[in-house]
DNA sequence: GTTCTGACTTGATTTGAAACTG
DNA sequence: CAGTTTCAAATCAAGTCAGAAC
C-alpha cells in the first residue's frame, strides 16, 4: 500500500479561473490500517449550545465571522502530502543531536521503512517544484517503541519523526483545500474539483508542508468568512489624534540598548559577540539604580550579549539566583566564541515564564505608561431629526467615535449599533433628546473628520514646499512628541536597558472585535491612572503619574511576572491588558528560545507519540480514543488546542471544541473540515486521514446533533495533561511550533539549490509559505490586488511587444536592413545584431521575471507569511541557512525581527532543527 | 474534577513611512 | 519629485495554558 495523495483539484487553476481557489487534494492512502473502531460514542456533551454554535460551521457563508472581510481565499492548497513513513526499523537510535550532525539528519529523514503493515515513507521526493504536493499518507506508524531518546533529549534525526509534519503527515493530511475565494458564498466550495494529477511521486517525504502545499499557486485558498465580501473595517481604534503623546516632558533620555538599534545584518551575523560565558550574562550592569539616564545606554550590555542565552547553568545562576543587585559590568563583547558556546551548551530550560514560579528579574526600573491626549472637543454638531444637537464634550467624543466610522460597513451591523447606542445613552443621560440611533445624522462630524484628515495630509506634504521655518516647526513638533514618549520606551531590567513594548495606554474607542462578536460596538472607555497597576522594582522610584491630580491604582513589586503595568480590559473587566517589554528584550528572547528548544525536544518523542495515538485511535476507552484522535488532528493538521469560550465572545473553535457539524466524514476516509478558528478565520479543507481516525470521527458524531461537541469527553486540560505524560512540558501548541520549524528546516535543506541569492530567497519564501498554509495563516486580499495584477499584465504585454519588435529588427539587421520603427522612438534604433540579441535576451528575461512575480503575488494574496516567521519558525534555522548559503540575513528578517532574534544570530551554520 | 484567574503568546489589521515610479 | 505602492511597525484582539480557588 502506498499512500499518496491525490489532488482532487488544482487549486490554482481553479482559483485563477474562478477567482477563488480551492483545492482538493486527497490523500490516498492505501495502506491504511484500519483499526476497528469501536464504538460508539458516547457522549457527553459539553454544554455547548446548540444552536448557536452550530451555525458557524455550517455554512460556509457564514463563515465569515468576520465582519466583513472578505474572504480570503485561498487556501488552499493544500496538498499535503506526505508520507509517512514508517519506519520500522527505525526507531533507531536517536541519537544524534541535530546540531552535531546535520547530515544524519537528512538522511534519516528519508529513510523509511516499513513495518509490515505500516508503512513507509519514502524518500523519494518528488516534489517538484513547489508545487508538488505531497502526498503523504502517512501513517507513520510508529514504532512501538518508546521514544528512546527521550531521555536524552536529543533528537534523533533519523526517524521519520523527524520529518516535518508535513512530511509525516500521515494520512492525514491530505488536504484539500478549498477556499479560496473570497469569502463568501462563493468561495466555498466544496465541490470537488477535477483531479489533478498528482505529482508523480508523491512526496511522501515531504514535510508537512508539503502536504499542505499548494501548488504553485495554488495555495490554499482560504476563505474568509464573511460572506460578504467586504470586511468590515475595524473600528477605529482611536481617534486620530490620538496618538499618544504625553504631555509631559521627557525626562530622561536613556540611550537605547544596543539591541534596539538594529545592526546590520552583517554586523549581527558577524560579530558575534560571543557570549561568553555565563558570567557574562550575569553581568548586568551594576547600576542598579538604573537611572534611566542615559548614560549607559550603550553600555548596557550589548544586546547581543545579553541575549545570548546562558547556558543552563548560567541561567540558573542568573536568574534565580542572584537576585541581588546586579552588578554589571558591561562587558563589551566578550569574545569568546559563541559558537563554541552554543554548540556545547545544552539548552537549559529555565522556568518558563508564565509558569508562575521563578523570578523573572531582580531589579526593574521604568517610567510607567504614556496616556493618550485628552479629548479636544471640535464643536461640530450632529443632527437629530434634522436639527443640530448640543452635546457635552464627553457625549461628543463618543458620537465622534461612531461618526468616524460612517464609511465602514459594520455600522450596518445591528449588534454593533445596539451595543453602541446602549453605551452612548448611558453618557447622554435618560432624558436626552437623542433617543434613537435611527434619527441621528452624524454626517457633519464625519465630514469634519474627513477634512481634518485632509488637512493633516496636506500639511505633511507641504512641509517640503514651505519655508524652512515650517519645516522646522513640524520637525520640532514631531521631535517633541518623540521626546515625550522617549522616557516610556525604556525600562532597566537587571541593569540592562530594554525596550518596552506597548507603553502607550490604549485610547478610548468603540470595540470592534473580530468575527461576530457579541460585544462589538461597545464603548472602550478612557483608561485613567486610577485604573492602572504598576509593577516595578522595590528600590526603583515610583513613576510619576502623568495626569495631575490622579494617582496609580496600585504599585506592586512582583518579580515573578514580567509585566510593567496592567489595567482591566474595559470591554471585559475580567480580563487584563498588560504592558510588557518588547520582543527584542532579553526576557522575551529567552522565553522564545525556550519555546523552540521545547519544540526541538519533541523530535525525540514524536515517533513514540505518533505510535501511541495511532494505536489509541482504536482504543475501547472512549476518552482515550478521543484524546488520540484529537492529538492526531493537532499533529497532522496543526489545529489549535481549542479552549472553551464564554458566551460573550465570538463563536470560534479549536480542536477540543470542534462541533459535529465542523467535521464531515466523506467515505472512505476523507474528513471535510469547516469551522471558524482563532480570529474567526475559516478553516476549510478536506483531508484524507487514516481509516482508524475516520472511523473514530464517525463514532464520535453518531447520535449527536450538529452543534454538539465532537469531543465530548475531553477538553484542553485533559489533553495537555496527557501530553505532559508523554513528554515533560508538552502541550498542544508545541506541535504547531514543531511542525512549522521542522517543515522549514526540511524544505530548506531539500530545496535550496540555487547559487544566487534571489533564487535562494525564493526557496525560503516558498518554504515559509508552506508553513503558513499548514498553520492556516491568512490575510485579506489587498485592496489593490486586482489593480496590481492588471498593471503587471500591462507591463508584460508591453514588453512582449518590445520583444516582437526586437525580433523583427534583429531579422532585418542580420540582413543589413535598418530597423523598422526607428521613427517611433522606441527602443532599438539601428543596432547591430549582437546588440539586438542582447537586448532581446534581456527583455525576455525581464518578462519571465515579471511573470514569476505576478504568479507569486497572486499565489500569496491570501497567505500571510509574517505570522509564522514571527512566531513559529525557529530563527536559528533561518540564520544557519543564511550562513550556509550566503544569503544576507536582512533579506529575510526585518529590522525588528533581527532585534527580536538576536539570541539566534550566532548559531552554528550547521544547526538543524 | 471543574471553574476561575492570571499571564503570556499568537494573530490579523491598520497605520505610517520608506521605496518606487512615471 | 509628487503621488503611489510596498512593507514594516504598531495596535490590540484572541488564543493557550498554568495554577489557584471552588
pLDDT score at A708: 94
pLDDT score at A239: 34
- Secondary structure (DSSP) of A251-279: ---PPPPGGGSPPPHHHHHH-------HH
pLDDT score at A797: 83
Q: For the segment A265-291, what is each residue's pLDDT rounded down to a tens digit?
A: 344 333 333 333 333 333 333 333 334
Nucleotide lying nearest to A47, CA to C1' measure: B2
Nucleotide lying nearest to A680, CA to C1' measure: C14
Burial category of A761 from C-beta neighbours within 10 Å (exposed 0-12, middle 13-18, buried 19 and up)? middle
Residues of A from 702 to 721 whose C-beta is within 7 A of strand B: which are they? Answer: 717-718
pLDDT score at A830: 61
Mean per-residue pLDDT for A806-820? 77
At A671, the pLDDT band (50, 70, 90 cuts) reads very high
- Residue pair A593/A608 in contact (Cβ under 8 Å)? The answer is no
Q: For the segment A9-40, what is each residue's pLDDT rounded down to a tens digit?
A: 233 332 322 222 222 233 222 222 322 233 33
The set of cell numbers assigned to A23 is 483545492
pLDDT at A634 over 70: yes
Mean per-residue pLDDT for A305-334? 32
In which element (H, E) is residue A800 found?
helix A785-814
B8 C1' closest Cα residue:
A354
How many Å apart are CA A575 and CA A435, to the nearest integer? 32
Strand C reaches within 7 A of the A514 CB: yes
User: Between A135 and A47, where is the model more confident?
Assistant: A47
Min mean pLDDT across A462-476, A673-687, A759-773 is at: A462-476
Min mean pLDDT across A231-235, A417-421, A698-702, A706-710 is at: A231-235
pLDDT at A247 over 60: no
pLDDT score at A203: 34
Q: How far is the CA of A232 from the C1' of C9 (A)?
A: 22
Nearest to A323 by CA among A284, A351, A290: A284
Strand C reaches within 7 A of the A524 CB: yes
The set of cell numbers assigned to A299 is 553600555
pLDDT score at A82: 33
Strand B reaches within 7 A of the A322 CB: no
pLDDT at A500 over 60: yes
B10 C1' closest Cα residue:
A871
Residues of A from 597 to 626 whose C-beta is within 7 A of strand C: which are they? Answer: none
How many Å apart are CA A696 and CA A170, to the nearest integer? 16
Strand C reaches within 7 A of the A489 CB: no
How many Å apart are CA A821 and CA A83, to the nearest integer? 58
Mean per-residue pLDDT for A64-86? 34
Mean per-residue pLDDT for A143-150? 35
Angle between the N-to-C axes of helices A732-751 and A622-637, in degrees from 0 to 180, rounded to the nearest 10: 40
Strand C reaches within 7 A of the A718 CB: no
pLDDT at A565 over 50: yes
Mean per-residue pLDDT for A905-911? 96
Q: How far is the CA of A417 from the C1' of C14 (A)?
A: 22
Strand B reaches within 7 A of the A475 CB: no
Query: Which one of A185-199, A214-228, A263-277, A508-522 scores highest in mean pLDDT?
Result: A508-522
Mean per-residue pLDDT for A399-417? 90
Strand B reaches within 7 A of the A615 CB: no
Q: How far is the CA of A894 from the C1' of B18 (A)?
A: 13
Mean per-residue pLDDT for A326-355? 32
Q: For the segment A437-456, what is each residue's pLDDT rounded down to a tens digit?
A: 999 999 999 999 988 888 77
Mean per-residue pLDDT for A102-125? 26
pLDDT at A153 over 50: no
C13 C1' closest Cα residue:
A513
Strand B reaches within 7 A of the A737 CB: yes
Strand C reaches within 7 A of the A464 CB: yes
At A459, the pLDDT band (50, 70, 90 cuts) reads low
Nearest to A113 by CA among A140, A133, A135, A93: A140
Q: How far is the CA of A795 from the C1' of B22 (A)?
A: 13
Strand C reaches within 7 A of the A679 CB: yes
Mean per-residue pLDDT for A223-236? 32
Determine the Cα angle at A486 with ends A484 and A488, to 5°: 95
At A592, the pLDDT band (50, 70, 90 cuts) reads very high
How many Å apart are CA A557 and CA A559, to the nearest integer? 6
Mean per-residue pLDDT for A658-685? 96
pLDDT score at A412: 87
pLDDT score at A476: 66
Q: For the segment A737-783, what is each residue's pLDDT rounded down to a tens digit?
A: 999 999 999 999 999 987 788 889 999 999 999 999 999 999 999 88
Q: How many other C-beta atoms are found inside a 10 Å radius of the C-beta of residue A814?
A: 12
At A913, the pLDDT band (50, 70, 90 cuts) reads very high
At A820, the pLDDT band (50, 70, 90 cuts) reads low
Q: How far is the CA of A549 from the C1' of C15 (A)?
A: 38
pLDDT, averaged across chain A: 68
At A457, the pLDDT band (50, 70, 90 cuts) reads confident
pLDDT at A819 over 90: no
* pTM for the model: 0.71
The set of cell numbers assigned to A373 is 491626549
pLDDT at A165 over 70: no
pLDDT at A104 over 80: no
pLDDT score at A851: 85
Strand C reaches within 7 A of the A238 CB: yes
Q: How far is the CA of A490 from the C1' of B9 (A)?
A: 21
Q: How far is the CA of A424 from the C1' of B15 (A)?
A: 27
Strand B reaches within 7 A of the A861 CB: no
- Secondary structure (DSSP) of A547-604: STT---SEEE--TTS--SEEEE-SS-TTSEEEE-B-TTSHHHHHHHHHHHHHHHHHHH
User: Between A789 and A262, where is the model more confident?
Assistant: A789
Compute the half-sphere exposure of residue A556: CA atoms within 13 Å on the CB side of its CA.
15
B11 C1' closest Cα residue:
A867
pLDDT score at A8: 29
Strand C reaches within 7 A of the A506 CB: yes
The phi and psi torsions of A577 (rounded to 5 degrees) equal -115, 130
pLDDT at A645 over 90: yes
- Residue pair A78/A175 in contact (Cβ under 8 Å)? The answer is yes
Nucleotide lying nearest to A222, CA to C1' measure: B12
Q: How far is the CA of A466 from the C1' of C1 (A)?
A: 15
At A473, the pLDDT band (50, 70, 90 cuts) reads low
Query: Which one of A170-184, A340-354, A425-439 scores highest in mean pLDDT?
Result: A425-439
pLDDT score at A482: 81
Which residue in the list A375, A632, A738, A872 is annotated as catalytic? A872
| Distance from chain centroid for Cα A367 | 31
pLDDT score at A495: 95
Strand C reaches within 7 A of the A509 CB: yes
Pairing state of beta strands A490-493 and A387-388? unpaired
Residues of A from 631 to 670 whose C-beta is within 7 A of strand B: which are they? Answer: 640
pLDDT score at A166: 42
Q: Is A872 a catalytic residue?
A: yes
pLDDT score at A460: 55
- Secondary structure (DSSP) of A463-520: TTTS-HHHHHHHHHHHHHHHHHHHTTSEEEETTEEEEBS--BPPPPEE---SSS-TTT
Residues of A from 375 to 414 whose C-beta is within 7 A of strand C: which are they? Answer: none
pLDDT at A720 over 70: yes
User: Between A218 and A515, where is the model more confident?
Assistant: A515
User: Between A116 and A304, where is the model more confident?
Assistant: A304
At A177, the pLDDT band (50, 70, 90 cuts) reads very low
Amino acid at each position: 500500500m502506498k499512500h499518496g495523495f491525490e489532488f482532487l483539484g488544482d487549486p490554482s487553476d481553479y482559483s485563477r479561473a474562478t477567482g477563488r481557489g480551492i483545492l482538493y487534494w486527497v490523500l490516498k492512502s492505501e495502506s491504511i490500517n484500519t483499526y476497528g473502531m469501536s464504538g460508539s460514542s458516547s457522549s457527553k456533551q459539553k454544554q455547548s449550545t446548540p444552536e448557536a454554535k452550530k451555525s458557524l460551521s455550517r455554512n460556509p457563508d457564514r463563515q465569515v465571522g468576520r465582519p466583513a472581510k472578505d474572504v480570503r481565499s485561498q487556501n488552499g492548497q493544500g496538498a499535503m502530502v506526505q508520507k509517512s513513513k514508517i519506519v520500522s526499523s527505525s526507531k533507531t537510535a536517536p541519537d544524534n543531536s541535530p546540531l552535531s550532525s546535520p547530515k544524519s539528519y537528512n538522511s534519516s529523514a528519508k529513510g523509511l521503512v516499513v513495518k509490515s503493515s505500516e508503512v513507509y515513507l519514502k524518500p523519494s521526493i518528488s516534489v517538484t517544484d513547489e508545487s508538488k504536493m505531497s502526498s503523504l499518507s502517512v501513517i507513520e506508524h510508529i514504532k512501538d517503541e518508546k521514544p528512546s531518546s527521550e531521555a536524552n533529549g536529543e533528537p534523533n534525526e533519523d526517524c521519520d519523526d523527524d520529518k516535518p509534519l508535513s512530511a509525516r503527515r500521515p494520512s492525514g493530511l491530505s488536504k484539500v483545500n478549498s477556499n479560496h475565494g473570497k469569502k463568501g458564498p462563493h468561495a466555498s466550495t466544496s465541490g470537488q474539483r477535477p483531479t489533478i494529477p498528482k505529482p508523480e511521486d508523491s512526496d511522501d517525504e515531504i514535510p508537512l508542508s508539503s502536504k499542505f502545499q499548494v501548488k504553485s499557486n495554488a495555495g490554499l485558498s482560504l476563505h474568509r468568512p464573511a460572506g460578504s465580501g467586504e470586511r468590515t473595517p475595524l473600528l477605529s481604534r482611536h481617534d486620530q489624534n490620538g496618538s499618544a503623546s504625553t504631555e509631559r516632558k521627557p525626562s530622561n533620555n536613556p540611550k537605547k540598548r544596543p539591541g534596539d538599534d538594529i545592526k546590520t545584518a552583517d554586523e549581527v551575523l558577524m560579530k558575534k559577540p560571543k557570549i561568553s560565558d555565563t558570567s557574562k550574562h550575569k553581568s548586568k550592569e551594576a547600576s542598579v539604580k538604573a537611572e534611566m539616564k542615559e548614560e549607559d545606554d550603550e553600555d548596557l550590555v550589548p544586546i547581543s550579549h545579553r541575549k545570548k542565552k546562558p547556558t543552563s547553568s548560567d541561567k540558573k545562576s542568573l536568574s534565580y539566583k542572584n537576585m541581588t543587585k546586579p552588578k554589571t559590568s558591561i562587558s563589551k563583547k566578550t569574545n569568546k566564541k559563541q559558537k563554541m558556546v552554543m554548540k556545547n551548551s545544552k539548552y537549559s530550560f529555565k522556568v518558563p515564564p508564565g509558569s508562575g514560579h521563578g523570578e523573572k528579574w531582580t531589579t526593574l526600573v521604568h517610567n510607567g505608561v504614556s496616556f493618550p491626549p485628552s479629548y479636544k472637543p471640535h464643536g461640530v454638531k450632529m443632527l437629530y431629526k434634522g436639527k443640530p444637537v448640543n452635546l457635552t464634550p464627553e457625549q461628543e467624543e463618543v458620537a465622534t467615535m461612531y461618526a468616524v466610522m460612517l464609511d465602514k460597513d459594520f455600522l450596518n451591523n445591528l449588534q454593533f449599533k445596539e451595543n453602541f447606542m446602549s453605551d452612548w445613552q448611558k453618557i447622554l443621560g435618560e432624558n436626552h433628546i437623542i433617543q434613537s440611533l435611527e434619527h441621528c445624522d452624524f454626517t457633519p462630524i464625519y465630514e469634519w473628520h474627513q477634512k481634518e484628515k485632509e488637512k493633516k495630509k496636506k500639511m505633511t506634504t507641504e512641509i517640503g514646499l514651505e519655508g524652512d521655518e515650517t519645516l522646522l516647526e513640524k520637525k520640532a513638533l514631531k521631535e517633541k512628541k518623540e521626546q515625550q514618549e522617549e522616557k516610556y520606551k525604556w525600562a532597566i531590567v537587571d541593569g540592562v536597558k530594554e525596550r518596552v513594548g506597548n507603553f502607550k495606554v490604549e485610547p478610548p474607542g468603540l470595540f470592534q472585535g473580530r468575527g461576530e462578536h457579541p460585544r462589538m460596538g461597545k464603548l472602550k472607555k478612557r483608561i485613567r491612572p486610577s485604573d492602572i497597576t504598576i509593577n516595578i522594582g522595590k528600590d526603583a522610584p515610583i513613576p510619576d503619574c502623568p495626569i495631575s491630580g490622579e494617582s496609580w491604582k496600585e504599585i506592586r513589586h512582583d518579580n515573578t511576572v514580567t509585566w510593567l503595568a496592567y489595567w482591566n480590559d474595559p470591554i471585559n473587566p475580567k480580563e487584563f491588558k498588560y504592558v510588557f517589554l518588547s520582543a527584542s528584550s532579553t526576557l522575551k528572547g529567552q522565553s522564545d528560545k525556550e519555546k523552540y528548544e521545547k519544540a526541538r525536544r519533541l523530535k525525540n518523542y514524536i515517533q513514540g507519540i505518533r505510535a501511541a495515538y495511532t494505536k489509541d485511535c482504536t482504543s475501547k476507552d472512549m476518552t482515550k480514543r478521543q484524546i488520540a484522535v484529537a492529538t492526531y488532528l493537532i499533529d497532522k493538521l496543526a489545529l489549535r488546542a481549542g479552549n472553551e469560550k464564554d458566551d460573550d465572545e465570538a463563536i470560534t473553535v479549536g480542536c477540543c471544541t470542534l462541533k459535529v457539524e465542523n467535521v464531515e466524514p466523506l467515505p472512505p476516509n476523507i474528513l471535510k473540515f469547516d469551522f471558524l478558528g482563532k480570529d474567526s478565520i475559516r478553516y476549510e479543507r478536506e483531508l484524507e486521514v487514516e481509516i482508524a481516525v475516520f472511523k473514530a470521527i464517525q463514532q464520535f458524531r453518531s447520535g449527536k446533533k450538529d452543534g454538539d461537541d465532537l469531543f465530548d469527553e475531553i477538553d484542553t486540560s485533559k489533553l495537555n495533561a496527557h501530553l505532559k505524560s508523554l513528554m515533560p512540558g508538552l502541550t498542544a501548541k508545541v506541535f504547531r511550533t514543531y511542525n512549522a520549524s521542522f517543515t522549514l528546516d526540511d524544505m530548506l535543506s531539500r530545496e535550496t539549490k540555487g547559487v544566487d541569492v534571489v533564487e535562494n530567497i525564493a526557496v525560503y519564501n516558498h518554504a515559509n509559505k508552506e508553513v503558513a498554509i499548514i498553520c492556516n495563516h491568512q490575510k485579506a486580499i489587498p485592496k489593490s490586488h486586482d489593480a496590481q495584477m492588471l498593471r503587471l499584465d500591462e507591463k508584460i504585454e508591453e514588453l512582449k511587444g518590445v520583444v516582437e519588435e526586437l525580433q523583427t529588427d534583429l531579422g532585418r539587421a542580420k540582413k543589413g536592413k535598418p530597423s523598422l520603427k526607428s521613427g517611433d522612438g522606441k527602443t532599438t534604433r539601428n543596432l547591430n545584431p549582437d546588440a539586438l540579441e542582447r537586448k532581446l535576451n534581456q527583455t525576455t528575461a525581464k518578462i519571465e521575471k515579471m511573470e514569476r512575480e505576478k504568479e507569486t503575488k497572486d499565489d500569496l494574496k491570501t497567505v500571510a507569511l509574517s505570522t509564522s516567521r514571527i512566531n513559529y519558525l525557529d530563527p536559528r534555522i533561518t540564520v544557519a541557512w543564511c550562513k550556509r548559503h550566503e544569503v544576507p540575513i536582512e533579506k529575510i528578517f526585518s529590522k525588528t525581527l533581527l532585534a527580536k532574534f538576536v539570541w539566534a544570530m550566532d548559531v552554528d551554520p550547521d544547526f538543524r532543527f
